A and B are shown apart, each in its own frame.
Chain A
Amino acid sequence: MVMDRKIRVIMAKLGLDIHWRGVYLVSQFLRDAGMEVIYLGNKFPEQIVEAAVEEDADVVGLSTLGGNHLTLGPKVVELLKEKGLENVRVFMGGVIPPKHIPVLKEKGIYEVYGPDTPMEVIINGIRESVQVN
């Protein structure tokens, strides 16, 4: 058999955030970069982590433009740890004030990407994070 290792990425809109364009765009680019993107739509941390378990995800990507990033983002990291999935990297993207980025990283978010991030940066960031594992 041929080993065929595709990076599996969970993509979700965090909580009740309605903004969809960003997460669609990133999901499509990751798909075109050869990854398997499991798109969840709007989901809360518990559902996102359950999906990460069942889908055996490498990476979780959270889109947030609604101001819930400081509460719900770290919650995902915490629940992943509870399930024994500390190796799953959590990325966040959207509208996040720069001063909150260190706070999020402190709480275990692997990387935060703002609206002007070039796509290659995101793709490479995800690829490298999985190799580190």
Chain B
Amino acid sequence: MEEIDRLIEKSLEGEKLATARLISMVERGDERASYILRKVYPHSGKAYYIGVTGPPGAGKSTLVDRLVKLFCVNDYSVGVIGVDPCSPFTGGALLGDRVRMNIKHKEWDVFFRSMSAGRVMGGLAKTTKEASRILDASGRKIIIIETVGVGQSELDIAQATDTVLVVLVPESGDSVQVMKAGLMEIADVFVVNKADRPGAENIALSIQGMLDRSLRKREWKPPIFLTSASLNKGLDQLYDGVWSHYRHLHHDCRLETRRKAQLKNELRQLIEAQFSEVIWRNIINNSKLEELVEDVWEQKIDPQTIARKIVREQLRDTFENNTVG
């Protein structure tokens, strides 16, 4: 048996080291990555995926630590992926999500993986979804993904998870901030963390007001929980709230609908990515691009026309070649 097949088999049996190696290979874009993903995919889809997002300093990591504990004492195996930012200059990263984690490895079944976001916007790394599938296939029942936490750009998390927790703090802003689109709209569960500080009730009321006034039709009204994760307050209620969303998803095929919508989106992205790879490899390279820049610079032609022309010509060539072949 090939070494890679042995690794995959061990990972599917739940071995941590093998799972860690597979995630690294996929993350690095190793040549075996697509083979791994093909083999692992049929075994995935059994876990419950929870996303945790919100601005930096909201206490996401501490909250994740406490939730992990609650899942573990209730006998669930948990996989966590913590995504942190990457330097746009050096590609290096300081991944600090583990600092808050106090995992009792001997008693609990937890696998925590830190990921650098790379040069991608949207709060997740390029391969976060793939890594979470590997964890899922390795038998983890709960997968928690914690986003970078940049602010309003954290929308990818809604594409990767079943339940999204948006974590805010009393200082997260007034009612105008709350009304702004984006982050607030992807929440299935709101958490006002650090609720021991002044203003917690106010922001909870602002969120409530926003939800009450919203014209969007909702089958699920996101509940709001006040917590102080570091003081262990409000966590049992939050835990129950997360499960009530899970139960909601398991009525009327809602989970299937949500996951299929995510798959559609994922497929679209992958197809686009493959196309653009083909385009950059076969059709246009940097020096060709620079030639075109000269034409545009001298205003012989405008950028839109030139782009359309290149694509049209290329597609025609491709089709003609295919017909001949």
Q: Tell whether A pairs with B.
A: yes
Which residues from chain A sit less than 8 Å from chain B, CB to CB? 1-6, 8, 27-28, 30-41, 46-47, 50-51, 53-56, 83-85
| SS of B interface (majority) | mixed
Nearest opposing residue in chain A for B82, CB measure: A38
* CB <8 Å contact, B99 and A31: no
Smallest Cβ-Cβ distance to A1: which chain B residue: B29
Chain B 1-33: CB-based contact to A (< 8 A → 1; otherwise 0):
000000000000000110011011000111101
Does B39 belong to the interface (CB within 8 Å)?
no
A3 vs B25: C-alpha distance when bound (angstroms)? 9
Smallest CB–CB gap between A105 and chain B, Å?
A: 26
Nearest CB of A to B61, in Å:
11
Q: Which residue of B lies closest to A41 (CB)?
A: B99
Encode contact with A along B82-97: 1 for CB under 8 Å, 0 otherwise: 0000010011111110
Contact among A34, A41, A47, A51 with B90 in the assembled complex (CB-CB below 8 Å): A34
Q: A1-B33, A32-B87, A47-B103 are in contact. Are A54 and B93 (CB under 8 A)?
A: no
Question: Are A54 and B112 in contact (CB-based, < 8 A)?
Answer: yes
Q: What are 14 A-B pairs with beta-carbon distances under 8 A?
A: A3-B29, A6-B116, A27-B94, A31-B94, A32-B87, A33-B92, A35-B92, A36-B116, A39-B94, A46-B105, A50-B103, A50-B105, A54-B16, A56-B20
Number of residue pairs spanning A and B whose beta carbons lie under 8 angstroms apart: 82
Q: How far is the CA of A84 from the CA of B7 in the complex (A)?
A: 14
Q: Does B175 contact A (CB under 8 A)?
A: no
**Interfacial residues, chain B to chain A (CB-CB below 8 A):** 16-17, 20-21, 23-24, 28-31, 33-34, 87, 90-96, 98-99, 103, 105, 111-114, 116
Q: Decide: B23 and A30 in contact? CB cutoff 8 A.
A: no
Complex CA gap A34/B16 in Å reads 26
Residues in A whose Cβ lies below 8 Å from that of B92: 6, 30-37
Q: A1-B29, A50-B103, A54-B20 are in contact. List 8 more A-B contacts (CB 8 A).
A: A1-B33, A2-B29, A32-B90, A33-B92, A35-B92, A40-B99, A46-B105, A54-B16
Using A47-B103, A54-B113, A56-B24 as known contacts, say yes or no to A3 and B30 having CB atoms under 8 A apart.
Answer: yes
A81 to B138, CA, bound (A): 24
A55 to B114, Cβ gap below 8 A?
yes
Q: Which residue of A lies closest to B27 (CB)?
A: A4
Report yes or no: B93 in contact with A37, Cβ–Cβ below 8 A. Answer: yes
Across-interface contacts of B28 in A (CB, < 8 A): 3-6
The answer for the CA separation of A97 and B95 in the assembled complex, in Å, is 31
Q: Nearest Cβ in chain B — how far from A96, in angstroms?
A: 24
Q: Would B16 and A53 count as touching, CB distance under 8 A?
A: yes
